[in-house]
């Protein structure tokens, strides 16, 4: 009989199913545990927020805000949007809950679905999952800059170290960490560089594609992001921001590199790694993984000292990152690091009208001891039970018939080699616990 649903998951969304979901759970548990060791606590912001929050923080002339958000009118006619990322929400929550009065810095992590109306392809979905973290610290009046630059660099390096520790804990190999500094938005620093870049781009304008041509006006830094083959040689010849940082930014960048080395975190510099928004400053980083084709960025992050203030809060430093969990999972699968499906530990093959109470009691005892147990809801022939036990990938079958109930000696069959042992209930738990290793 055909089994065709009238409905299918919406394009760009998908069902995550067992056994793959076990890998998702392992990834998320590992994140919680590693981030916990760095002193981060979990925040769970809502999945939708005022559209204006994202428009302000991500920027109106980004693809995300201009065409990728799922927005709708709420009952009160206000416009709300499904979150395309979570940094804006975390900053909003930081302000809303007065977290600047908590012991600084405030270290928060989150995980959950994000939504962007993009063209779906491998590693790119409309509902995708991110694991991210933010470190926020409201600037104390009178804080001296020189000392705090070194402190910021250490915070940046520790955040990056945390991501790399998380990936290492998962057994992910072949990662590449790229870092850059984009300075700060002052005439003697990034603004000066952007003017220079704009002037150089004007000179080669007619050799650039339409996207880059447009960006010369709106956001010249973003031209450096271009993946267009025909633009690569032109871009390679452009002036580099590293040569135009102000003294403070350049010292801070040197300190980030020293701090990373101190922590044993290998990195590569990439002068083309940019963020197109004004409140992004200094450290930016990206991590790529193998086996993902062109969607190979698994983590992006950077410092955003101006964002909280832009959203109405006090001047506050911020650094954070977002990991693409879907791509992380794909990469683990490609590398053969996905978990083997976990079948059952024990399948209870029971038969006989009077046997059910014993079968239920056995299932309860085994589950309380932490074993994965399958208890068929109705009696069935032993042959059928053993076949099912096999299909479910069970390690053992516990055979319970009237004889076993009468004698109190239960039969445990090891399915791999067919051997059997007679055991009392308490011996059974002992034997199974020992075999768990
Ligand atoms: P990309 O250049 O790949 O579009 P991005 O710059 O838009 O990435 P960020 O907004 O920095 O990405 O998000 C951080 C991470 O989230 C990315 O490195 C990526 O792993 C993941 N990510 C972003 N968009 C998607 C998507 N549509 N589907 C799956 N993962 C995504
Ligand atoms: Mg994108």
Interacting residues of 374 by C-beta distance below 8 A, sequence separation 6+: 344, 346, 347, 348, 388, 389, 392, 394
Residue 402 phi/psi, 5° resolution? -60, -35
Nearest C-alpha to atom 24 of ligand 1 is from which residue? Answer: 124
H helices then E strands: how many in the chain? 15, 16
DSSP state of 318: E
Query: First and final CA of the chain: distance in angstroms?
Result: 45
Query: In the structure, which protein residues have their CB atom closer than 6 angstroms to any atom of ligand 1?
Result: 85, 116, 118, 123-125, 128, 130, 295, 297-300, 322, 324, 326-327
* Cα of 324 from ligand 1 centre, angstroms: 6
| Ligand in closest contact with the CA of 295 | 1
Instruction: Note down pLDDT in tens along the chain; length 437 residues.
Output: 667 889 999 999 999 999 899 999 999 999 999 999 999 999 999 999 999 999 999 888 788 998 999 999 999 999 999 999 999 999 999 999 999 999 999 999 999 999 999 999 999 999 999 999 999 999 988 776 667 889 999 999 999 999 999 999 999 989 999 999 999 989 999 999 999 999 999 999 999 999 999 999 988 998 998 989 999 999 999 999 999 999 999 999 999 999 999 999 999 999 999 986 777 899 999 999 987 888 899 999 999 999 999 999 999 999 999 999 999 999 999 988 887 778 999 999 999 989 999 999 999 999 999 999 999 999 999 999 999 999 999 999 999 999 999 999 999 999 999 999 999 999 999 999 998 76
For the entire predicted model, the pTM comes to 0.92
| Closest approach atom of ligand 1 to CA 120 | 27
Instruction: Give the residue, out of 65, 122, 297, 326, with the most ligand 1 atoms within 8 A of its beta carbon, to mutate for a pocket test.
Output: 297
Task: Judge whether 161 and 168 are in contact, CB under 8 Å.
Answer: no
Nearest protein Cα to ligand 1, atom 16: 324
């Amino acid at each position: 009989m055909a089994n065709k649903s009238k409905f299918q998951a919406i394009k760009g969304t998908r069902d995550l199913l067992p056994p793959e979901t076990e890998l998702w759970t392992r990834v998320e548990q590992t994140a919680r545990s590693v981030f916990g060791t760095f002193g981060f606590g979990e925040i769970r912001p809502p999945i939708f927020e005022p559209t204006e929050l994202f428009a302000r923080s991500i920027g109106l002339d980004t693809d995300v805000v201009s065409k990728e958000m799922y927005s709708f009118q709420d009952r009160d006619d206000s416009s709300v949007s499904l979150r395309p990322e979570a940094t804006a929400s975390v900053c909003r929550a930081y302000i809303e809950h007065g977290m600047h009065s908590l012991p600084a810095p405030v270290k928060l992590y989150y995980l959950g679905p994000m939504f962007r109306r993009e063209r779906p392809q491998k590693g790119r979905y409309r509902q995708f999952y991110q694991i991210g973290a933010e470190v926020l610290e409201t600037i104390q009046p009178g804080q001296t800059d020189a000392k705090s630059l070194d402190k910021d660099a250490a915070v940046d390096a520790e955040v990056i170290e945390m991501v790399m520790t998380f990936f290492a804990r998962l057994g992910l190999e072949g990662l590449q960490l790229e870092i850059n500094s984009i300075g700060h938005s002052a005439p003697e620093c990034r603004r000066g560089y952007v003017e220079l870049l704009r002037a150089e781009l004007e000179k080669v304008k007619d050799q650039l594609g339409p996207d880059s041509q447009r960006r010369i006006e709106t956001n010249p830094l973003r031209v450096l992001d271009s993946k267009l083959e025909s633009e690569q040689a032109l871009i390679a010849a452009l002036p580099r921001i590293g040569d135009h940082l102000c003294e403070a930014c350049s010292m801070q960048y040197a300190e980030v590199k020293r701090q990373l080395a101190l922590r044993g975190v290998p990195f590569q510099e990439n002068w083309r790694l940019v963020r197109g928004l004004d409140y992004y400053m200094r450290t930016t980083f990206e991590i790529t993984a193998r086996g993902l084709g062109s969607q190979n960025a698994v983590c992006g992050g950077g410092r955003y000292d101006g964002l909280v203030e832009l959203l109405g809060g006090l001047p506050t430093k911020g650094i954070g990152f977002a990991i693409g969990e879907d791509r992380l999972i794909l990469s683990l699968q490609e590398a053969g690091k996905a978990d083997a499906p976990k079948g059952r530990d024990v399948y209870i093959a029971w038969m006989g009208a009077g046997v059910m109470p014993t079968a239920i009691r056995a299932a309860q005892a085994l589950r309380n001891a932490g074993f994965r147990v399958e208890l068929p809801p109705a009696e069935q022939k032993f042959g059928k039970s053993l076949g099912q036990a096999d299909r479910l990938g069970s390690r053992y079958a516990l055979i319970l018939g009237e004889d076993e109930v009468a004698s109190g000696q239960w039969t445990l069959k090891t399915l791999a080699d067919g051997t059997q042992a007679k055991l009392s209930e308490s011996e059974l738990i002992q034997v199974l616990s020992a075999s768990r290793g």
